[in-house]
Every structure is written in structure tokens, then in C-alpha cells.
Amino acid sequence: MLDSHGTVLADVDDTQLGMQDPFISLIVPADGTYILRLREATYGGNDNCHYRLHIGAFPRPTAVYPLGGKAGETLALSFFNKASGELTQTVKLPPTPSEKFGVFAELDGLPAPSPNWLRVSDFPNVQEKSPNQDREHATGTDLAPPLALNGVISQKGEEDWFRFKATKGVALDVEVYARRQGSPLDSVLEVFDAKGQSLAANDDTAGADSALKFTPPETTNYFVRIRDTLGQGGPEYVYRIEVTPAAPNLAVKIPEVARNDTQARQYIAVPRGNRFATLISARRANFGGELVFAVEGLPPGVTLHADRMAANVDAMPLVFEAAPDAPIGGKLLDLTAMWTNGTSQLIGRFHQDIELVQGQNNVAYYSTSVDKLCVAVTRSAPFKLSIVDPKVPLVQAGSMRLEIAAEREHGFDEPIEVQMIWNPPGVSSQPEATIPKGATNVFYQLNAGGGAEVRSWKIAVLGHATVAGGQMFVSSQLADLAVAAPFLSGKIETLWVNPGKPGKLTVNLQCAKPFEGKATIRLCGLPEKVTASEKTITKDDGEVVFDVTVDTNCPAGSYRNLFCAVDVPQDGRMVPHTIAQGGILRVVPPKKADARVAAVQGKER
């Protein structure tokens, strides 16, 4: 802010006020003329750099204490900012718990232009009593969990201590709420027993906020210590520590699909007569089991296709399909995941954090959260994708060329980029594949590790192409991908060979699952200037011998990355296998080879 002569009266940016919006607070003569200058901190800017500027005598607190309270109670609050100091106010909390309840400070009848955020819980508050900067002076309570511990790291280098009672064997969740509520605190949390022995510690589990779980070994007092990881502090470094019995919990969201863009594809936009897929993730706490997904009240003509989420995975694809005559329009809906074990049931609901403005170092400067999923039907797309049903399985330590087919409207020939929405456990895929301009298919490489889980999975691919100057997304159907055990395995015997001389390399085979006809086997991983002819085998072969040719100029050395690629026939198609990994070929000068042979013959005598 400048006066009419260009003298700077105040200058501020977001780094001075932690996670809150920057503001200037000062007293000026009523009859003066003043200039406000606003710029992007790094002198950047574009058409997306919108802002809203408030000018007035309203309060603008950067912190509120405590950061929460019990549902239904009347809570005394202290608001603070560096310019105007502390402001006290009481507020009636809502009758039901809320993760973010906005409170507006008031001064002389004028409210703040934006809220400070509180957590509303169904358990009581404990507020720190100074001094509580060491274990001997910890703020104590006779309350048993669940409870909330509230305080302020008011000075640099300060740490706060609390004491509470806990019951042997009852697992507890201890979680800090600070940065998520607008505090600049980057917490470090630690729990100690009555003797001062550390039981659990955590720095960053929920972003910059700490969270941990521990099970009390005895029924006695326990201590919590909290501090800032960089030793910072001040009146804005408020925090809330919730100590609750560990209970089953389930949360559902769409994972971030584009780096540093939490809004990218956080919605369902289904073209008429087409499909749209999204990855959905579920965070389970204190339970395990399969989940069933549902979306109630879908727009007319829209259908959800979803498999059960297996107990050992935390993400999977959902596919939404719209009928050709589905009305164009959208709705905000509840997405749920349900777990049941026959006697009890748990339902997790959709919750998404959205970054609206990004600050320095890719830290969220201004964000919000939503609990509804946006599902919309859009105009039709000029292309449609499908996965061609793979007739053979993807075997462990094997590969597959998955065919993706495109149906194009007449006149549309743009390239289509496709990618897997999700890979089953132990399966990997190439990052992206392109259906070339005018083409109608592409093969997408899938690979399975040796420990990939044997079962059938549901997979989908998402594709996008340039339509009317923008990118339009469609997906394939949910297709079945069977991951199976390999038909055979093998082990390569080490071969010693001289440059310029042939050798015979033996691979011992074990057939785990009979197959019809002949399989083709190739020796792979050979060094330059070494070749081996392709062979065929049947289910009855216990070994295969490769004729190895070594060029006279082949460098001597041990080559340890040999393996065999096998194409096993099944139902008229080939199932690619990778077996016998880690084989060794030793290329040695003739004298060393002769000496080794002589040594072996001597032992035999």
C-alpha cells in the first residue's frame, strides 16, 4: 500500500502469514488518497490468475483458538492477527459433528470476509494450561479417550505436553489438526508411557499434520508431545490433537490424475452413447474386506459398472455408461462404498479435497472439500473404445499384447491416446499407447511379475483425442483380465565356452500345466556376437538344448542375464511366458577353459 506520494506504507505477501490470505491492516487518515498495488509474487500471471480484494474496517484474523469443540456447546474463541492482536467471541457449535465448520469474527458489527475453520466433534475439549513445556508440567486430564487436546506453540523452539489416561489393549488413534485448519504449524507428534519411554512418533502422515496409532500396554497415564518440525512458533501456531479409540473407518475419493492439478478429471463426464472411466480409491482403517460401490440417483440413461474391490487393493476402475438418448445434464450425487461381514456393516462416503489456488513449492494456498460426485451426460464423442476380449490369460512372469479397438465416426481420424486406468497387483503396463491417425486399433503391452495374484480382474482403458479444439475423454468397457500361473518353468545350466567355438546350453524344464501342440522357446539376454537358434518343445520335454554360436571377437566375461521366452499354444493363440531368469554364460579364453576342464576331470578320477 502506498500513499499519494508513492511512499510504501505496508507490504505483505502470503509467506508472512502462513497459509492465510495476505492482507494489510493499518490506520490511515480519513481524507487521504492511497494506492493499492497487487502483483503475483514471482511476477508471473495469466488468464487464470483471478483475485478478489476486500477493503474495509472488518476484522481479518489469521488464527482462531481453540480449533474445535464439542457438538452443541457454546465455545469461547480467541481470534488473532499480527496487526490488530486478539479478539474474543463466543459461538454456538452445530448439534452434529463437522470436519470444517466456518466461524466469522466480528468487530463493531462488521464480519470477516472469509471464515476461520473449526472441527466439531462429539467428545470434550481439553485446553492447555501453561507452563506445559515438559513432561513434569504436562497439562493433565482425568478424561479418557475420546477427547481433544488443544494448544498453541506460541514461541520458537517450544514443545507442548499433555497427560491422559488410557486402557490396556484398547488401540488409539492420535491425530493432529493444524495445517488442514489453516495453521502454519508443521507438527511432530510423539507418545510416551508413564516412565518416559517413547511408544510411537510421527511427522507427516496427513500432509503436514501428524497422525499415529498405538496400543497402550498398561492401564495408566500416557503423555503426548507436540512441536514444530522446524522449531517455529507464534500465536498463529494453533493445533488440535484428537485422541480416539481406533474404530473402523472408510473414506472414498478419486486420486489425483495429473501432477499438481487436483481438479483434473475429478468428475464423471459421460458422452452420450459412450463410456467414461475413473479410478476410485478407498482408504480402510482398522478393518479389511471387500467393498461394494454404488451411486444413487444417477442421471436418466446412465449406468454404473463396478466390480467388488478386493480386500488387498485400495483402488480400482469404475465405468459409467450413457445411453445414446440419455438427456444432456448433470447431478451431484453420493458415491458410497460398503463393507459387511454378515453381522455388521460400514459405509464410506465420497470426500474430495480440491486445491483452488496453489502457493509456493506446490503447497495448497487455498482449497476446499466436497462430498458429492459430479456425474454429467455430455454431447456424443466421435469415437468409441473397447478392449478386445483376451482369449488367453496373462501368466505370472509373462506378458500380453492387449488389443484396444476404436470405432470412429465418418470423417474423424485424429490420433487417440489410450492408457490403463489401473493395473492389478503385480501387473505393469506401458505408460500410454497411441491409435495412429485414421487407425482403428493398437496393441498395449502388459507384463506380470512372478508374484502377481492369480485371479480374474476387471480392467479398463481411458482414451482422449482432440475434438473441436479440446480434449475429449471416453473409456472402454470393464473387461476381464485373467492372471494365471505359468504353464511351465525352467532353469538354465551354466555354460562355459571359448570365443569362436560352439557350445550347447541346456535348460531344464518343468511342466506345471499340460498344453497341446508345440511351444516355441527362445534363448534371450545373450551378449553381442552370441546367437542361439529357436527351438520347439512339448509338454513332455524335460529339457531343451540350445546350439550356441560364439563369434571369435566376442569379449570374454560372465553374462548373467539369460532367460527364455516361451510362446505356449492355447485355444489357437499363444500365451507368452518368461522362464529360467538368471542364467549364466561364461565366455573365457581357451587356456582358462582347458584348465577348468582338467580340474573337473581330476576330481572325477
- Indicate whether 18 pLDDT > 60: no
Q: How far apart are CA 75 and CA 41, in angstroms?
A: 38
306 contacts: CB under 8 Å, gap ≥ 6:
293, 294, 316, 318, 319, 478
- Indicate whether 326 pLDDT > 50: yes
- Cα end-to-end span (Å), the chain: 98
Mean of all residue pLDDT scores within the chain? 89
Q: How confident is the model at residue 13 (pLDDT cuts 50, 70, 90)?
A: low
Q: Would you kindly state where each structural domain of the chain is located, as residue ranges? A: 125-247, 250-378, 383-484, 488-593
The distance from CA 394 to its chain's CA centroid, rounded to whole angstroms, is 26
Over the stretch 121-171, which tens digit does the pLDDT of each residue have? 999 999 999 999 999 999 999 999 999 999 999 999 999 999 999 999 999
Over the stretch 274-319, which tens digit does the pLDDT of each residue have? 999 999 999 998 889 999 999 999 999 999 999 999 999 999 999 9
Of the candidates 206, 156, 210, 575, the one whose C-alpha atom is nearest the C-alpha of residue 399 is 575
Q: What's the CATH class of domain 125-247? A: mainly beta
Q: How confident is the model at residue 365 (pLDDT cuts 50, 70, 90)?
A: low
What string of DSSP letters covers 431-485?
S-EEE-TT--EEEEEEEE-TT---EEEEE-EEEEEEETTEEEEEE---EEEEEE-
Return the minimum-mean-pLDDT range out of 190-199, 259-268, 272-281, 498-507: 259-268
Hey, do 250-378 and 383-484 end up sharing a CATH topology, with the first three levels equal? yes
Over the stretch 396-441, which tens digit does the pLDDT of each residue have? 999 999 999 999 999 999 999 999 999 999 999 999 999 999 999 9
- Cβ proximity of 212 and 155 under 8 Å: no
Secondary structure element (H or E) that encloses residue 65, with its range: strand 63-65
Question: Which amino acid belongs to residue 205?
Answer: T
136 contacts: CB under 8 Å, gap ≥ 6:
none
Beta partners for 353? Answer: 369
> Which backbone phi and psi does 137 adopt, to 5 degrees?
-115, 25
Tell me the CATH number for domain 488-593. 2.60.40.10
User: What mean pLDDT comes out for the span 221-235?
Assistant: 95
Q: What's the CATH class of domain 383-484? A: mainly beta
Pairing relationship of beta strands 345-350 and 249-253 according to DSSP bridges: parallel
Cell of 80: 488473532
Over the stretch 182-196, which tens digit does the pLDDT of each residue have? 899 999 999 999 999
Q: What's the CATH class of domain 250-378? A: mainly beta
Of the candidates 402, 423, 399, the one whose C-alpha atom is nearest the C-alpha of residue 524 is 399
The whole-number pLDDT of residue 399 equals 93
Cell of 549: 554360436
